Amino acid sequence: MTNKKMSAVVCDTYQNRNFLKIAIDRVSACSQVDEIIVLSYQDVPGCRLIKIDPITSVEKYNELILLEIIDHIKNDHALIFQWDGFPLNENLWSNNFFNYDFIGAPHYSEIYKTPFFNGGFSLRSRKLMCEVRSLIRLYSNLTRYPEDALICHLLREKLESKGLIFPGIEFAGNFSYELGVMPHSFFGFHGAFNFPFFFKEADLVNLSDELMERLNQPNIILHLLNNAYQMNYLDFIQVCLNNFESWPGLKLVVEYLSKNPSESEVGKLVEKFFKTN
């Protein structure tokens, strides 16, 4: 078990690649990773490229992750990571993670009314990937669901009946953090809204243009701003507000908060911004 290795896989077709490089550098620091596979449109130094067309939908991403990557990995486990989900503390890796077939940041889904594990930064076994692909081919239209909800909710009972093992919530928290009370220690994280906890403010300011390209979900942008406010990243928030007209998702957030400033911690800053501009 000590020398067991894993493949690492990321799908990314954004034009700007600074966040992708950061994620790849963090994954490269993990001694258990012996290959990094990038599904993209151009080479990334030190990685094996699988050329793909731009990812334009959740369904296309799901098809890549659930149906195709299994044909490209050489190890018994794959570490799936993204530009907003990657290792932070490689020294907190535990070989006990290999005892499970799927593990990611634990959280509770209000949609599915069940706890499950985020797939954006996750470890999954070859056995799980093979079983999931077989089930998807057996049942139609499954790739329209978020791939982690598919594995942890819709298919979990079938997967467990085949001997696949999911961790408990507490143990999964040792692997990755996403929402809720932050553990004292964990291997990695998922969620761009958590960047203020793990990036210096100056770095977020410098990368704000790329955030505009990559982030357009208003709920995530609002969460990002609230966490930035919590960390007193006022310069970053100001840069975001100065450019809100060019950022469609943020524009919706700002327009809402300008009318409902009490709805969010950062609302007062938005209100002040409009009064002084």
pLDDT digits (tens, 9 = 90+) for 6-57: 999 999 999 899 999 999 999 999 999 999 999 999 888 889 999 999 988 8
* 120 lies in some domain: yes
pLDDT of residue 222: 94
Residue 178 sits in a domain whose CATH number is 3.90.550.10
Q: Are residues 215 and 180 in the same domain?
A: no
Q: Is 26 exposed, middle or buried (0-12, 13-18, 19+ CB in 10 A)?
A: middle
Q: How many CA atoms lie within 13 A of 275 on its CB side?
A: 9
pLDDT of residue 262: 87
How many of the other CB atoms lie within 10 Å of CB of 42?
A: 9
Give the integer Cα–Cα distance in Å for 170 and 148. Answer: 18
Give the integer Cα–Cα distance in Å for 9 and 15. Answer: 18
Domain closes at, from 190, 207, 225: 190
Q: Which of 76, 89, 97, 94 is nearest to 34 (CA)?
A: 76
Q: Terminal CA-to-CA distance of the chain, rounded, Å?
A: 60
* 1 lies in some domain: no
Q: Are residues 124 and 199 in the same domain?
A: no
Domain closes at, from 148, 175, 190: 190
Give the integer Cα–Cα distance in Å for 180 and 16. Answer: 30
- Strands of the 48-51 sheet, one edge to the other: 48-51, 33-40, 6-11, 77-80, 114-125, 102-109
The mean predicted confidence, pLDDT, of the chain is 91
Structural domain count, the chain: 2
pLDDT digits (tens, 9 = 90+) for 109-151: 777 777 789 999 999 999 999 999 999 888 767 777 888 888 9
Q: Are residues 259 and 209 in the same domain?
A: yes
Is a pLDDT exceeding 60 seen at residue 1?
Answer: no
* 69 lies in some domain: yes
Q: Are residues 134 and 253 in the same domain?
A: no
Q: What does the chain come to in residues?
A: 277
Q: Are residues 104 and 134 in the same domain?
A: yes
pLDDT digits (tens, 9 = 90+) for 172-218: 999 999 998 888 899 999 999 999 999 999 999 999 999 999 999 99
Q: Are residues 19 and 117 in the same domain?
A: yes
* The two three-digit tokens of residue 217, written as one number: 């979900």
Q: Are residues 216 and 141 in the same domain?
A: no
Q: Which of 194, 217, 177 is nearest to 19 (CA)?
A: 194
Please name every residue paired with 126 in a beta bridge, in sequence order, or none if there are none.
none
pLDDT of residue 261: 86
pLDDT of residue 2: 56
Percent of the chain with pLDDT over 90: 68
pLDDT digits (tens, 9 = 90+) for 70-120: 999 999 999 999 999 999 999 999 999 999 999 999 987 777 777 789 999
pLDDT digits (tens, 9 = 90+) for 47-70: 999 999 998 888 889 889 999 999
Answer yes or no: are the C-beta atoms of 170 and 178 closer than 8 Å: no
Q: Are residues 183 and 217 in the same domain?
A: no
* 270 lies in some domain: yes
Torsional class of 180: left (φ above 0), alpha (ψ -120 to 50), beta (otherwise): left
Burial call 149-182: b when 16+ CB within 10 Å, e when fewer: bbbbbbbbeebeeeebebbeeebbbbbbbbeeee
Q: Which of 11, 14, 32 is nearest to 188 (CA)?
A: 32
Q: Which of 31, 113, 40 is nearest to 79 (CA)?
A: 31
pLDDT of residue 234: 95
pLDDT of residue 56: 86
* 93 lies in some domain: yes
* 223 lies in some domain: yes
Q: How many CA atoms lie within 13 A of 109 on its CB side?
A: 16
- Residue 236's domain comprises 194-276
User: How much is the pTM?
Assistant: 0.92
